[in-house]
Chain A
Amino acid sequence: MAIFSVYVVNKAGGLIYQLDSYAPRAEAEKTFSYPLDLLLKLHDERVLVAFGQRDGIRVGHAVLAINGKDVNGKYTADGKEVLEYLGNPANYPVSVRFGRPRLTSNEKLMLASMFHSLFAIGSQLSPEQGSSGIEMLETDTFKLHCFQTLTGIKFVVLADPRQAGIDSLLRKIYEIYSDFALKNPFYSLEMPIRCELFDQNLKLALEVAEKAGTFGPGS
């Protein structure tokens, strides 16, 4: 999956649509006996691995499930604290699943409004007048492409750095938005988009773009 996510941000900087379409992240489930040889710590309401790597479990991975039941932040499904539970030898052997923590929807909202502010700063820093604002943000693992319409809506796509054709994908997403979100009389402007047809057509467009765009530097 070369296109990782799509975000749509409204004029005020609020996230109105979000889609993640990458393959499931690496997760590792292992059975442990006391004592646990990984050092765990509590961070941001999650239990993360602070030190100790083995068998696919890396530093920074979060505890996702204990004995098959998903954990709820720092509490197990039964309401006990994870760190306490794993510190008690009576609970062993225990099977724990680790993996990269997913972003919660609140975190995504915050990140979207932060990006909106950075976008504003970007265009103000510009030495030339009439700058377009941030169009691309590049890292070694992904590229973030952004397109702001004349009416202030931003379409943001996170994709593989080698994926080509994102510009036309952004325009296509704009068309899909104007068709399936705006022409839906029950959709109010600037509100979260909850239209089935928009979802479906967006996923279709992503698939088309992925197939077409990977004829990039590779071939």
Chain B
Amino acid sequence: MSRQANRGTESKKMSSELFTLTYGALVTQLCKDYENDEDVNKQLDKILCSHFLPRGYNIGVRLIEDFLARSNVGKCHDFRETADVIAKVAFKMYLGITPSITNWSPAGDEFSLILENNPLVDFVELPDNHSSLIYSNLLCGVLRGALEMVQMAVEAKFVQDTLKGDGVTEIRMRFIRRIEDNLPVGEE
């Protein structure tokens, strides 16, 4: 539909920097909200990280419907298909990048997404007092929330981060289980 096509290119050109700025503002606001004592700085980073996850989760549960409505992908029947769809369709649609999928575990239930460049951190440097902040942890929450809505419980965490000096950004995704309660009818 023409509306979809227009939206796609327009929104990518227009909002990528706005998006980076917005994300940065969110992080700094969270830092301010929880900054009350030098002594608990180390702990703060942990708290901050754990506060991104729920926010990301809320984004994820809503984003999945938008994704399904626009991308027309069918049901994924195994974790490999899911990984493909996440990397090639979802990341491309929303962040404009296509991460590569590597490091499959022998059981096929864990894989890594390697992002050469992370649009969220285009203009960011981590200051010393937040050296253990996982800046893009929101992404993990988004992935977790979105997959939960399609009956998959997963764990997503950052293994490498360009903000900390690593060459690439790596997110490790682990499949925990299929969520059997509250299945939409017709799925078994």
Q: Which residues of A are at the interface with B, using a C-beta cutoff of 8 A? A: 11-12, 116, 119-120, 122-124, 129-133, 148-153, 171, 174-175, 177-179, 182-183, 189
Contact = CB atoms under 8 A, between A and B. Distances in A.
Contact of A123 (B66, B182, B186): B186
Contact of A150 (B62, B66, B70, B75): B75
B66 A151 contact: no
A116 B185 contact: yes
B5 interface: no
Contact of B68 (A11, A131, A151): A151
Interface string B126-170: 000000000000000000000001100000000000000000000
Contact of A149 (B65, B70, B185, B188): B65
Nearest to A179: B66
B106 interface: no
Contacts of A183: 62, 66
A174 B188 CA distance: 23
Given A150-B75, A175-B70, A123 B185 contact: yes
Size class of the contact patch on chain B:
10 to 19
14 contacts: A122-B186, A123-B185, A130-B188, A132-B186, A133-B185, A133-B186, A148-B186, A149-B65, A150-B150, A153-B65, A174-B68, A174-B69, A178-B70, A183-B62
A150 B186 CA distance: 10
A11 B184 contact: yes
B186 A120 contact: yes
Contacts of B188: 129-130
B185 A151 contact: no
Given A149-B68, A151-B149, A171-B69, A182 B62 contact: yes
Contact of B184 (A151, A171, A182, A189): A151
Listed residue (B68, B150, B183) with the most chain A CB atoms within 10 angstroms of its CB: B68
B114 to A, nearest CB: 27
Contact of B150 (A129, A151, A178): A151
B2 to A, nearest CB: 13
Contacts of A124: 185-186
Listed residue (A11, A151, A189) with the most chain B CB atoms within 10 angstroms of its CB: A151
B48 interface: no
A173 B70 CA distance: 11
Nearest to B4: A175
A151 B186 contact: no
Contacts of A131: 186
Given A12-B182, A174-B65, 14 more contacts: A119-B186, A122-B186, A124-B186, A133-B185, A148-B184, A149-B184, A150-B75, A151-B68, A151-B149, A152-B183, A171-B69, A175-B70, A178-B70, A189-B61
A22 to B, nearest CB: 26
B182 A11 contact: yes
B168 to A, nearest CB: 31
B78 to A, nearest CB: 14
A177 B69 contact: yes
